[in-house]
Amino acid sequence: MWGWSCVVSAGLGVVETMRVLVTGGTGFVGAHTARALLAAGHGVRLYVRDREKAVRLYRGWGLEVPECVVGDIADEGAVAEALSGCDGVVHAAALVSLKARDAERVYATNTRGVASVIGGAVRRGLASIVYVSSVSALFVPGQAIPADAPVAPARSAYGRSKAECERMVRRWQEEGAPIRTTYPTGIVGPDDPGLSEANHAVRTFLRDTMVMTSSGFQAVDVRDLAQLQVALLKESEGPRRVFAGGRYLAWEELARVFDELVGRRVRRVPVSGGLMRIAGRVADVVRRVWDFDFPLTGEAMEIATRWVPVPDDPALDALGVQYRPVHETYGDTARWLWRAGHLSERQVGALAHPVERAA
Ligand SMILES: NC(=O)c1ccc[n+]([C@@H]2O[C@H](COP(=O)([O-])OP(=O)(O)OC[C@H]3O[C@@H](n4cnc5c(N)ncnc54)[C@H](OP(=O)(O)O)[C@@H]3O)[C@@H](O)[C@H]2O)c1
C-alpha cells in the first residue's frame, strides 16, 4: 500500500523525483522546504491561504511560482483534492499565536490540520509523509529528551495543540504509516516571510539586549531543517522520528558569537532563571486581562532557563545532513533581519559591510 516512485530518465542517468504537496508553503519552514525540494528537482504543489503572497514570495526569490492550491488546512475536502496526484507531503502549516483570544482557534486549526493533512495522506497511502512537530511537545523542564520521550504536558493552547497532534501522529505511526516526524528546537535563518519566534528573539538580542540567564539557546538553521526534510521524504523506510536540534550555545557563548559578527559587544543583562520564570507566570496571568503578543510566557521562560541540550540525532549522518556553522547561521539571519528592515545598519554593525571588513 505504501508505495511511490516517479522515476525519470535524465540523460546522464536515472533521477528519482517526487511530486510533493507542501502545506504552509508561504510560511518559514514550508517555504524553505519547498525551495529545497525545487532545487533538488522535485515537483512542488503548495497549499496556501493566499496565492498572491506565494507569488510575491517566490518571485522575490527569483523562482518560478510552484502550482498553488488555496485552502484552509482544516478543510478535509480541499486537502484531499490537493493531495491527489502527489507522491509525498510535508505538513508545515500551523497557527502560531500566543494571544489569549486566539487560543481556541490555534488548538482547533492545528489539530484539525493534522487530521486532514496527515490523516488524508495516510488514507491515500502516500509513501512519503513528513510532519513538522516540535521538541517543545516533548519538553519537561530540566530534563534531557530521550529518543523515545513521551508527549509532555503543555500549558499554552499552541503547546497543547502540538502535544495533541503528536499523539495523533504517533497512533498512525504505530499502525505502520510512513510518517517521518521532525522535532525542531527554535528555528532561525534568513528569508522568514513572517517573523517567527526564534528570529524575533535574535532581533531582540541585537536590537535591545541579551538576557544572560541559566542554560542556553538551541536553534536549527531553517535551511538545514529543509535539507533534512527533503532527505526524509526520499527515505524508503516506514515511520521514524528525527530530532532537528541544531546547535546549542550557553547564553554567554551565543553573546560572543554576536559580538564577533557585529564587531561590538552586544548589551547583556544578567537575570536569574528563577526570576525569569516568575516573570513568565505573571505574564500568563496578565494576558488574561490584557492580551499581548510578546513571547513572554511561563512555558517560554521554562524553555529559556531550563533547557537541556538535544544532542545531534545519529540519523543526520546517515541522511547526509550536516548543520552549518553557527557564525553562518546567525550571520545570515542578522543580515537578513537588517535587509528586511527589522534591524538597523548600526545594530548589525560589521555584517552590513562584509567586504570592507574582509579588506
Ligand atoms: N518557527 C519555530 O521556531 C518553530 C519551532 C518548532 C516547531 N515549529 C513548527 O514548524 C511548523 C512551521 O512553523 P513556521 O515557523 O514555518 O510558522 P509560520 O512561518 O507561521 O508558517 C505557518 C504557515 O501555516 C499557514 N497556516 C496557518 N493557518 C493556516 C490554515 N488555517 N490553513 C492553511 N494554512 C495555514 C500560514 O499561512 P500564511 O502564510 O497565510 O500565514 C503559514 O504559511 C509549525 O508546525 C510549527 O509548530 C516552528
Instruction: Please state the pTM of the whole predicted model.
Output: 0.94
**318 Cα: distance to centroid of ligand 1 (angstroms):** 28
Query: Residue 355: its pLDDT value, please?
Result: 60
Query: Residue 292: its pLDDT value, please?
Result: 75
Question: Which protein residue has the closest C-alpha to ligand 1 atom 11?
Answer: 92
Would you say the CB of residue 33 lies under 6 angstroms from ligand 1?
Answer: no
Query: Residue 3: its pLDDT value, please?
Result: 36
**267 Cα: distance to centroid of ligand 1 (angstroms):** 31
Which positions ≥6 away from 131 have C-beta within 8 Å? 91, 114, 118, 165, 169, 179, 180, 181, 182
Would you say the CB of residue 57 lies under 6 angstroms from ligand 1?
Answer: no
Per-10-residue mean pLDDT of the chain, 359 residues long, equals 37 66 98 97 98 97 95 98 97 91 95 98 97 95 92 92 98 97 97 95 96 95 98 91 97 98 97 94 87 81 92 94 98 98 98 66
Mutational pocket test of ligand 1: of 21, 22, 23, 28, the residue with most ligand atoms within 8 Å of the beta carbon? 28
Question: Which protein residue has the closest C-alpha to ligand 1 atom 37?
Answer: 24
Which domains does the chain show, CATH number per domain? 7-187+221-246+311-323 (3.40.50.720)
Query: Residue 84: its pLDDT value, please?
Result: 97
Query: Residue 77: its pLDDT value, please?
Result: 97
Query: Residue 356: its pLDDT value, please?
Result: 53
Query: Given phi > 0 = left and psi -120 to 50 = alpha, else beta, which region is 68?
Result: beta
- Name the nearest CA neighbour of 201 among 182, 223, 185, 225: 185
Query: Residue 128: its pLDDT value, please?
Result: 95
Mutational pocket test of ligand 1: of 165, 187, 192, 224, the residue with most ligand atoms within 8 Å of the beta carbon? 187
